[in-house]
Amino acid sequence: MNFGRWMLGVFVFAAVCGFKPYGTNDLVNLTVPLKYVDRTDGTSLQYRIFVPAIPKAATNGVPLVMFLHGSGECGTNNISQLVHGVGGLVWWSRNREPAIVVAPQSPPMTEWSPLFFNMLHARMPIATPPMIARVKGLMDEICEQYPVDTNRMLVTGISLGGYGTWDLISRYPGHFAAAIPVCGAGDPQHAEDAAKTPLWIFHGERDGNVPNKMDRAMVSRLWELDAPVRYMEYPDSGHGIWGRVYSDDAVMKWFFSRVRGRK
């Protein structure tokens, strides 16, 4: 791996322009708690949704942003998933680029994608994980019920949600206009599928929960494939980098402006 290329990713955040995302209490008031029920097997998934005022000029609809939380936010209260990350996405939707923001909550003792690890290499399950199937079903239902521009489907997630983000773009190649996995892990064996989605990947240099080797392995393979991918690694930072990611103007502007099929 070219060292200079890694260093470009590490130090590009020396100076950034940011904003203050909404807090959890704000998000409880701005979002609506709902439940998705699978029509085939009756399984369910709680979620929060923010629907902005839809501009008249948005004749094709607005983007749909799917946010997947980390392991610490699993639960049944349909609130905990709002603690990290969602505040920046909803702030941007209200103030800059209208988008429907959806944040499902994974129940206790579940995972978006139960990766297998072998010598710090992640392996995706062959069969579609139950939670990923529910997320995909929820997205399809949202597209039926709201004015979504299906060429501007976006997905992002933190930690465990980063695993889920990698799983979704690998399992449904080309379905998303862009993805932002934050301190997650994906399967390099599925890099060719993931390469069909423009990516901006984030990790902390000193992440003790999910080692940066996980994302570096994916990025290395994606660069070999000449995929549309950016990688940013925060120097001397640990696992909890999401506050910086979702309050950064440049990151949000890039994410919300993506259109499927457009470089």
Task: Give residue 173's pLDDT.
Answer: 96
CATH hierarchy code of domain 3-11+26-256 = 3.40.50.1820
Task: Give the domain ranges of the chain.
Answer: 3-11+26-256
Task: Give residue 117's pLDDT.
Answer: 64
- For each of the chain's 263 residues, which pLDDT tens digit applies? 443 444 344 434 444 578 999 999 999 999 999 999 998 889 999 999 999 998 888 889 999 999 999 999 999 999 999 999 999 999 999 999 999 999 999 999 999 998 776 556 788 888 999 999 999 999 999 999 999 999 999 999 999 999 999 999 999 999 999 999 999 999 999 999 999 999 999 999 999 999 899 899 999 999 999 999 999 999 989 999 999 999 999 999 999 999 998 76
Per-residue tokens: 59: 């004749």
Residue 155 near residue 133, CB atoms below 8 Å: no
Q: Judging by beta carbons within 10 Å of its beta carbon (0-12, 13-18, 19+), is residue 10 exposed, middle or buried?
A: middle
**φ and ψ at 81, to 5 degrees?**
-70, -5
